[in-house]
């Protein structure tokens, strides 16, 4: 028998009506003959409301207590959802992270899953129940409640799907799947029907907000097929996997997922998955860094000590000083201030001329296979930006991604220009965007 | 070192400001040198809000899911309270019923505690923390979340106090303690300074709403001294125990509790604790019950099968039929309808003439020691009611209680008349109301 894990985010269970709609979908899936395990987030604004309550008490809430507080949110949504499914005549039981066997380390607020032992869930579905599990939470080895941090519910769902050997993990959200670009920016953006894990990772890491990096990494490691789709429509979503879907899933996954074989080596030219963008980065440039051994190592030690996650790195000949270089890095806005302060403090020691901090940057990433081996891709990208009058600030590449930094106020134009240049805004009957579907 | 268990009800933690006020009180107690364990209910209207949410989903919520839902309420209040105590510089950690070792049977919605193993709580206070425990909840042997039903948080507190050998269990509420009558009815009602468990049980069983019967029964069985007081004032409350308070509690319990020895046998006359009243009962009379062996047994089997909790029972010679009797019982209003239907159905079989169901009754109970051995008490009671023009419908007595049923619209007048007749509304410097204080 097939097992379908479904994950519903907060916007899918925002009120009683939404919960009833989700219950209907769960029951429909169950009645198609699939076993169903559901992972649910807290209702709509619950988490924000709880954070506000905590904020009205203290600015220094202990992390352990904050996790205890926030974990109440999923209890409410999961119990209500179980009631709603029961109301439709299908037995359902809700389970906390602890009951579902989600064991984590003790990093409250951003815990990592260390083991999954979902014995009760396996028994529950064998007994014919829909098992409804709290997302985002687990317990540490002291039985203390922990939360998994951002993307935690997606991660719970993927981890459960992996340990239960589910045929698919459906991630329900408020859009129809992954798109070739953000439809709010590029109105002609199309749904990606099938995509591999690596390209999805690059999309997620570079600003596409639908899926969390962490959940995709988990899915990739354990080969969990993901289906990202909308809880507000019956439309097909995006199939993310390295293999075709179990034929028994016909009717609940995209048709193209059933005969999907992503095999990059058989592909002649580059196949573009889509365009991700990111507004959350700051740029920090060290001007006139002495061009001597050890300078760069010293600088990156300081940045690491400041706790910053570096994204892009570029080094050039200095604009102001002979025999020196300019070194530019990008990092999340929230990390930048402390990093700049740490670098300023080390200025004399390292001997650079100045630190220049620019907040106003946007990053555009073109994601797809065959990127590096095909020089035409970068030429086309730079040409499109140039024609649109957009200056490129920095460039960074990976095997399947090409990112450029542009001025923040030109980012939307850049996304549209590149989307058009790569033929992504074709009509509804466009060619397949990524990898061997349709064969 | 002394250990104080404090229980705060929902009205004491209704919002952030109230939570900060409670935190201040906890910290003050801790700084007086006592170890402190706190049991907390859900904030103000949380439980009602959660019930409304469930009601918007279904009218038939499974009990297990309802308990999962409701248990979220204490998670929120306890985590916030722990944050507030930490904010005042005293380390505090919150614990779920499960973490506190509250093991129950699996009667969801009205579970009974089967064992208390509060190891983590004991360790936590040894480590110098204030331990804050969720009231009202536990887990069954499947690790499923259960709730204890009405009075559950009081029961959690008393059970924790018993298993941790606490010196006192303080029950914080929105009034200053137990009163000789409900002050909203008898404006001259005074706070009872000290009282024994049995009299408290009778008060609670007969309509005094401050303490739940169940918690008092637990306290009596395990000899847990209770101090019922207001979280809104610093006033002394009511000391409920069979022994004087630990002298180390001086300053946080009533002065009179320090030299309190309730010894009924040394008391010459009756000592009235107070007057309880109850508006929640209905009266059901079976008219013309055949006066033959087995009739009564049969009737009470039917009532038991209907699930009703009988309070008073009176049997008299029938008013309408020779050789027959009239049998009257009282029971909670909620139980009455089903009981009447069950009795009507058995009418022919048992052979009584009619069922008369009266909703409009009030019960007044006079509680205190030496009641039965002192005929003057009942004479004074009946005299006071007669003078006030109040007709007595039914009478029931126990060792330390004398209850009368009157018309509901005369109940308040009855309470005032009896309160005055027994000298309970004396001035502030009145004689001690109950048992050996002041010696």
Flag if A83 and B72 touch (Cβ within 8 Å): no
CB count within 10 Å of CB B60 equals 8
Whose CA is closest to A139, among B66, B153, B143, B136? B143
- Residue A372's pLDDT is 66
B9 is in an annotated binding site: yes
Q: In angstroms, rounded to a whole number, what is the distance separating the alpha carbons of residues B33 and B252? A: 12
Q: In angstroms, rounded to a whole number, what is the distance separating the alpha carbons of residues B238 and B221? A: 19
Instruction: Please check whether residue B50 touches A, CB under 8 A.
Output: yes
- Residue B437's pLDDT is 28
The 10s digit of each residue's pLDDT in A192-221 is: 989 989 889 888 888 888 888 889 989 999
- Residue A439's pLDDT is 25
- Residue B226's pLDDT is 97
Picking from A84, A143, A145, the nearest residue to B57 by CB comes out as A84
Handedness of CA A423, A429, A432, A433 (dihedral sign): positive
Residue to mutate among B44, B61, B63, B76, with most A CBs inside 10 A, is: B76
Name the token pair of A356. 């220049």
- Residue A426's pLDDT is 60
- Residue A144's pLDDT is 96
Buried b vs exposed e over B360-399: b needs ≥16 C-beta within 10 Å? ebbbbbbbbbbbeebeebbebbbebbeebebeebbebbbe
A9 is in an annotated binding site: yes
Buried b vs exposed e over A351-372: b needs ≥16 C-beta within 10 Å? ebbebeebeebbbbbbbbbbbe
Whose CA is closest to A161, among A203, A100, A231, A213? A100
All residues of chain A having their beta carbon less than 8 Å from the beta carbon of residue B19 are: 57
ipTM of the complex: 0.78
The 10s digit of each residue's pLDDT in B312-326 is: 888 777 777 777 888
Flag if B57 and A99 touch (Cβ within 8 Å): no
Q: In angstroms, rounded to a whole number, what is the distance separating the alpha carbons of residues A421 and A384? A: 6
Q: In angstroms, rounded to a whole number, what is the distance separating the alpha carbons of residues A189 and A180? A: 5
Residues 72-131 on A with a CB inside 8 Å of B are 72-73, 75-76, 78-80, 82-84, 86-87, 93-94, 96, 98-99
CATH class of B3-263: alpha beta
Q: H or E element: which one contains A403?
A: strand A401-407
- Residue A52's pLDDT is 95
Q: In angstroms, rounded to a whole number, what is the distance separating the alpha carbons of residues B414 and B257? A: 31
Q: In angstroms, rounded to a whole number, what is the distance separating the alpha carbons of residues A134 and A79? A: 9
CATH class of B264-425: alpha beta
Residue whose structure tokens are 């003790």: A106
User: Is B425 strand, coil or helix?
Assistant: coil
- Residue A317's pLDDT is 75
Residue to mutate among A22, A71, A83, with most B CBs inside 10 A, is: A83
- Residue A436's pLDDT is 27
Flag if B87 and A50 touch (Cβ within 8 Å): no
- The CATH number of A3-265, from 3.10.270.10, 3.40.1190.20, 3.40.1160.10, 3.40.50.1820, is 3.40.1160.10
What are the mean pLDDT values of chain A's consecutive 10-residue runs (439 residues total)? 95 95 97 97 93 95 96 97 98 97 94 95 97 97 92 94 97 91 90 90 84 89 94 91 92 87 54 88 90 82 86 77 83 91 92 90 87 76 91 82 91 94 62 29
Terminal Cα distance for chain A, rounded? 27
Flag if A57 and B96 touch (Cβ within 8 Å): no
Q: In angstroms, rounded to a whole number, what is the distance separating the alpha carbons of residues A170 and A7? A: 6
Residues of chain B with pLDDT under 50: 264-267, 427-439
Residue to mutate among A58, A71, A89, A101, with most B CBs inside 10 A, is: A58
- Residue B270's pLDDT is 65
- Do the Cβ atoms of A252 and A32 come closer than 8 Å? yes
Flag if A65 and B83 touch (Cβ within 8 Å): yes
- Do the Cβ atoms of B270 and B377 come closer than 8 Å? yes
Q: Where are the domains of chain B?
A: 3-263, 264-425
Q: In angstroms, rounded to a whole number, what is the distance separating the alpha carbons of residues B296 and B290? A: 9
A47 is in an annotated binding site: yes
Per DSSP, what are the bridge partners of residue B115? B103
Per DSSP, what are the bridge partners of residue B398? B401
Q: In angstroms, rounded to a whole number, what is the distance separating the alpha carbons of residues B381 and B211? A: 25
Per-position DSSP letters for A331-358, written without gaps between them: EEHHHHHHHHHHHHHTHHHHT-SEEEEE
Size of interface A-B (CB pairs under 8 A): 116
Whose CA is closest to B66, among B76, B77, B54, B78? B54
């Amino acid at each position: 028998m097939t097992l379908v894990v479904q994950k519903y985010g907060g916007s899918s269970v925002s009120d009683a009506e939404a919960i009833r709609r989700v219950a209907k979908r769960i029951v429909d899936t169950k009645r198609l003959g699939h076993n169903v395990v559901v992972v649910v987030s807290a209702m709509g604004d619950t988490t924000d409301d709880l954070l506000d309550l905590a904020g009205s008490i203290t600015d220094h809430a202990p992390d352990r207590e904050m996790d205890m507080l926030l974990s109440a949110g999923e209890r409410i949504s999961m119990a209500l959802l179980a009631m709603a499914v029961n109301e439709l005549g299908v037995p359902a039981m809700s389970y906390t992270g602890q009951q579902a066997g989600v064991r984590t380390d003790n990093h409250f607020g951003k815990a990592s899953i260390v083991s999954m032992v979902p014995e009760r869930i396996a028994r529950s579905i064998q007994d014919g129940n829909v098992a409804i599990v709290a997302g985002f939470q687990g317990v540490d080895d002291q039985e203390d409640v922990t939360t998994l941090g951002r993307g935690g519910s997606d991660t719970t769902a993927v981890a459960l799907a992996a340990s239960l050997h589910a045929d698919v993990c459906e991630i329900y959200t408020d859009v129809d799947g992954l798109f070739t670009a953000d439809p709010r920016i590029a109105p002609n953006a199309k749904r990606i029907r099938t995509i591999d894990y690596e390209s999805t990772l690059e999309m997620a890491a570079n600003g596409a907000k639908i899926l969390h990096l962490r959940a995709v990494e988990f899915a990739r490691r354990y080969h969990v097929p993901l289906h990202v789709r909308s809880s507000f429509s019956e439309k097909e979503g995006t199939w993310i996997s390295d293999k075709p879907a179990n034929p028994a899933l016909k009717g609940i996954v995209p048709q193209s997922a059933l005969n999907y074989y992503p095999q990059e080596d058989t592909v002649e030219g580059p196949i573009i998955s889509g365009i991700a963008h990111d507004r959350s980065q700051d740029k920090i440039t060290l001007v006139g860094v002495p061009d001597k051994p050890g300078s760069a190592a010293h600088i990156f030690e300081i940045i690491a000590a400041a706790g910053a996650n570096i994204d892009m790195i570029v080094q050039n000949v200095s604009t102001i000083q002979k025999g020196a270089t300019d070194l530019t890095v990008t990092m999340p806005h929230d990390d930048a201030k402390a990093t700049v302060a740490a670098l300023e403090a080390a200025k004399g020691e390292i001997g650079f001329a100045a630190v220049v901090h620019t907040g106003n940057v946007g990053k555009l990433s073109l994601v797809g296979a065959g990127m590096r081996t095909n020089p035409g891709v970068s030429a086309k990208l730079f040409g499109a930006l140039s024609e649109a009058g957009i200056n490129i600030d920095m460039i960074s590449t990976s095997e399947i991604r090409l990112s450029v930094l542009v001025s923040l106020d030109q980012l939307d134009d850049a996304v549209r220009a590149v989307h058009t240049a790569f033929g992504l805004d074709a009509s509804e009957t466009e060619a397949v965007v990524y990898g061997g579907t349709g064969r």
